[in-house]
């Protein structure tokens, strides 16, 4: 073997070794050359249960680079910037952010930090778009102050899924009748759930709590202060028996500053029980009704 051929063989081996090193040690190298043709959707088979929410983060198909998703400061998923992810999280306060690594015009890795987003999910599916800033002029220095942001695209109540879990029980009846009633009421109204009539005190309290939760989590209405409501309910139960008249309800509604008062009644027995909600417009005296059997 002559010297020239030996040099060519050694050069080829060195080049191959360098390529291999780039593959194994390149870390977050997600340049166009190794970008997947089809984005991945991590966690697409996960489903939120009662007292949980779904957070969906959608990437950008035309963006190169890698992303890291953090929930409450803990890394949840590494992925390409074009991918999407679904997170199932308990209702309550959380912080979520996405960091992004891309390359500048010189092939150098540039880390773009994510803006922390404070969220308080309430049994909903929240869909966000991950907004990745572009490098300006190929220089990371021009990128200062421009972070990765999460832009809310939509939010959808998951209560219908909860109703499926317990469609024959009181919880399912509250959700079914409650959602039907909410669809009839003007958004932005101030609503007070005044009283639920039932032979079972615990059942009545459960209906009140679940309906108030449903109204609040929808983010479509304002609620009367809970302490004011509790005081009015205690006075009503102590002083009155049977139904509260419409005029009495209207007077109470004005005192509470409510636009709409909701009352309810559980009737029937055994396997044939019915829950009825009535929403009274305080000023006009008109009303809406909804029912569900359980």
Put simply, whether the predicted model's pTM sits higher than 0.75 gets the answer: no
Confidence bin at 134 (pLDDT 50/70/90):
confident
What is the reported pLDDT for 162?
44
* Site of tokens 């695209």: 153
What's the CATH number of domain 32-157, 2.160.20, 2.60.120, 2.60.40, 3.40.720?
2.60.40
* Mean predicted confidence (pLDDT) in 188-192: 93
The CATH superfamily assigned to 161-293 is: ABC-type transport auxiliary lipoprotein component (3.40.50.10610)
Instruction: Give yes or no for residue 283 having a pLDDT over 50.
Output: yes
- Residue 6 has a pLDDT of 54
Residue 185 pLDDT = 93
pLDDT of res. 161? 46
Spatial contact of 117 and 130, defined as CB atoms under 8 Å apart:
no
Looking at 202-211, 233-242, 274-283, which range is the least confident one?
Answer: 233-242
Length of the chain: 294
Asked if residue 191 has pLDDT above 70, the reply is: yes
Q: Report d(CA 122, CA 92) in Å as an integer.
A: 7
Compute and round to an integer the Cα radius of gyration of the chain. 29
Tens of pLDDT, residues 103-129? 887 888 989 999 999 998 888 899 999
Q: Between these two residues, 141 and 78, which has the higher pLDDT value?
A: 78
Residue 247 — very low, low, confident or very high, per pLDDT cuts 50/70/90?
confident
Predicted confidence (pLDDT) per residue in 65-83, tens digit = 999 999 999 999 999 999 9
pLDDT band, residue 157 (cuts 50/70/90): confident
For all residues of the chain together, what is the average pLDDT? 80
More confident position, 201 or 83:
83
Query: What CA–CA distance (Å, rounded) separates 42 from 168?
Result: 34
Does the pLDDT of residue 267 top 50, yes or no? yes
All structural domains of the chain with their residue ranges:
32-157, 161-293
Phi, psi of 155 (to 5 degrees): -145, 135
**Measured distance CA(261)–CA(287) in Å, rounded:** 9
């Amino acid at each position: 073997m002559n010297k020239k051929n030996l040099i060519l063989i050694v050069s080829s081996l060195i080049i191959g070794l360098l390529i291999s090193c780039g593959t194994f040690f390149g870390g977050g190298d997600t340049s166009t050359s190794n970008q997947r043709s089809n984005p991945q959707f991590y966690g697409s088979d996960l489903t939120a249960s009662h007292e949980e929410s779904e957070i969906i983060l959608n990437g950008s198909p035309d963006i190169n680079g890698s992303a890291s998703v953090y929930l409450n400061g803990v890394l949840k998923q590494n992925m390409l910037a074009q991918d999407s992810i679904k997170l199932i999280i308990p209702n309550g306060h959380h912080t979520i952010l996405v960091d992004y690594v891309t390359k500048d015009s010189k092939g150098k890795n540039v880390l773009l930090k994510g803006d922390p987003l404070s969220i308080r999910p309430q049994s909903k599916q929240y869909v966000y778009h991950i907004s990745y800033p572009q490098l300006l002029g190929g220089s990371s220095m021009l990128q200062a102050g421009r972070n990765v942001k999460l832009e809310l695209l939509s939010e959808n109540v998951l209560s219908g899924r909860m109703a499926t879990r317990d469609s024959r029980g009181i919880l399912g009846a509250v959700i079914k009748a409650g959602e039907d009633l909410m669809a009839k009421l003007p958004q932005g109204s101030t609503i007070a759930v005044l009283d639920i009539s039932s032979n079972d005190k615990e059942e009545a309290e459960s209906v009140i709590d679940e309906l108030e939760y449903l109204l609040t989590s929808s983010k479509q209405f304002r609620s009367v202060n809970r302490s004011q409501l509790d005081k009015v309910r205690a006075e009503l139960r102590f002083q009155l028996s049977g139904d509260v008249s419409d005029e009495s309800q209207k007077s109470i509604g004005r005192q509470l500053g409510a636009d709409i008062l909701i009352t309810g009644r559980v009737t029937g027995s055994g396997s044939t029980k019915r829950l009825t909600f009535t929403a009274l417009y305080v000023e006009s005296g008109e009303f809406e009704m909804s029912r569900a059997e359980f």
